[in-house]
Structure 1
Amino acid sequence: MQTLDHNLIFPHPSSAPDHGLLAIGGDLSVERLLLAYQSGIFPWYSDGDPICWWSPDPRMVFDLQSDEPMRVTKSLKQSQRNKGYIIKENTCFTEVMRHCALVKRQDEAGTWINDDFISSYSRLHELGHAKSIEVFKEDVLVGGLYGIDLPEKKIFCGESMFTLATDASKIALLHLVKSLKSKDYHFIDAQLYNDHLHSLGAIEIDREVFLSYL
């Protein structure tokens, strides 16, 4: 594991052990974040700890080249029809991030989405690299997600999602899946395995396969 300094350089992502911890340190500058995502690396750490950079093997993705990248249940279809949700894109990026920061996650005491994280990713959004999908109910934001868009690589790096109403985050994800599939994207990067992502249809692929698309 390498300790980063002010130089904009990472170890090769395939050199990380299977659990994925590649390097620590550095900063959350726009330049470093873009280099990281374009290299298949992402930051994830607890507030107050050094910045940790990850490249796990295997990698969790939604395969947008498959016939059914996301599992759409009967109840989700009913929510689409009956809940009166309105889907928007990039209208309140920072607000989506702040909601994601409040999500309670199993086996995690806090959140990695601290003020520095929000500031850096909001800057990425201003520059067109970070995007959000928002779900509204009667003009109230009730769900959404955000991530880093790599259109030249045909990969969207999903970061986090939240929901305050039934299926709202799933509605946001389904919208993203359909939009990216129509643009012939390869993957939505979901980073690390968890049961919720698996239930939605995400699969694990070898790290080298994922990196080959970058």
Structure 2
Amino acid sequence: MTDINAGQEPEQTMTRIQREKREAILEAGLTVFSQEGFRGATLDRIAAEAGLSKPNLLYYYPSKEAIHEELLTGLLHTWLDPLKAVNPNGEPVDELLAYVHRKLALARDFPRESRLFANEILQGAPRILPALEGELRELVEDRAAVIQRWIDEGRIAPVDPVHLIFSVWALTQHYADFDVQVHAVLGAGDPFPRAEAHLETLFRRLLTP
């Protein structure tokens, strides 16, 4: 993640304890923001979650905006990497199914990050809209062109390439963003093995020519 703390020591010159405190603040911020959203989160709550005093927290991050921005900056790259990994020269159905599996794994392994991102979008993406309109749009357009080429070559069934990507996002991130609802319906247990099998069948049937 990018160091956005003007006036503070560069990360490479920090002691081990200072780096650990920064990580503790980011970890606490992730928990609080994913539960409360940006507006509901407070520095007092983040400091308490991190086990630090508020003045100690403010030494590392001057505001909750700074913590939130750093979390979102790192998260956006994490979210883009699975789509970047789609190989234009690979086997189309296999590449797209692998993308589905990677996105579902993110929902399983990083549910707080998913909810942090969802909360930002629901608020109108005030802090990451330029990245969505820039880096994200460019990547989606690039991979949509790859998908369209595969369709034109008859290697996958005709679909709307951009809305296919939207569908992958919706059907995988649901398991993190609506975790409470998923478990209310399914009860105890891990929903991801069944989800993975279901999405594999769904998208294979959709994409196979």
* TM-score bracket, shorter-length normalisation: under 0.3
TM-score normalised by length of structure 1: 0.25
| Bigger share in strand | 1
TM-score normalised by length of structure 2: 0.25
Larger Cα-atom Rg: 2
| Bigger share in helix | 2
Highest relative contact order (Cα 8 Å, sep 6+), 1 or 2?
Answer: 1
